[in-house]
């Protein structure tokens, strides 16, 4: 097993994105004067869910991709999955802030989460094929 250097690089980029999302939530809390929860502020609730959604999906996807890379999986597949994951996680918050039923909401939010699900599924399947 080798060190998953490609995944480590993208994990660092995604960690910086998570820090940015977290700062965005903190800024929303400060501007809304909300210490806990969302205080009924719809904008703050969207920010919190953007950060929460990231925290719920990205670590598991990264783990699967890192295991795939460390087990000797295709580096082109690993890099492709990571690029798609990074783009998906950049798009998701843009869609979360779009007006309800707007094309941007479907394209960015919907596309971001579908791409995240796709990355997770492909990484899991590729790992199963490698280890079977």
39: left (phi over 0), alpha (psi -120 to 50) or beta: left
Residues 17-72: tens digit of each pLDDT: 999 999 999 999 999 999 898 999 999 999 999 999 999 999 999 999 999 999 99
Stretch 70-98: mean pLDDT: 96
Checking if the pLDDT of 1 tops 90, the result is: no
Residue 132, pLDDT score: 85
Our count of domains for the chain comes to 1
CATH code, domain carrying 65: 1.20.120.550
Query: Residue 84 — pLDDT band, cuts 50, 70, 90?
Result: very high
pTM of the model: 0.93
Residue 65, pLDDT score: 98
Give dist(CA 91, CA 108) in Å, integer: 5
Q: Which of 3-7, 97-101, 115-119 has the lowest mean pLDDT?
A: 97-101
Residues 57-73: tens digit of each pLDDT: 999 999 999 999 999 99
Domain residues for the domain of 77 are: 5-131
């Amino acid at each position: 097993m080798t060190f998953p250097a490609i995944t480590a690089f993208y994990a660092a980029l995604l960690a910086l994105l998570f820090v940015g999302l977290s700062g965005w939530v903190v800024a929303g809390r400060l501007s809304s004067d909300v210490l806990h929860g969302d205080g009924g502020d719809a904008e703050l609730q969207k920010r919190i869910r953007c950060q929460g959604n990231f925290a719920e999906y990205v670590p598991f996807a990264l783990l699967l991709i890192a295991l795939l890379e460390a087990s000797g999986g295709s580096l082109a597949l690993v890099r492709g999955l990571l690029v798609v994951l990074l783009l998906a996680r950049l798009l998701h918050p843009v869609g979360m802030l779009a007006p309800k039923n707007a094309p941007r909401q479907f394209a960015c939010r919907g596309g971001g989460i579908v791409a995240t699900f796709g990355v997770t599924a492909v990484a899991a399947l590729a790992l199963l094929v490698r280890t079977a």
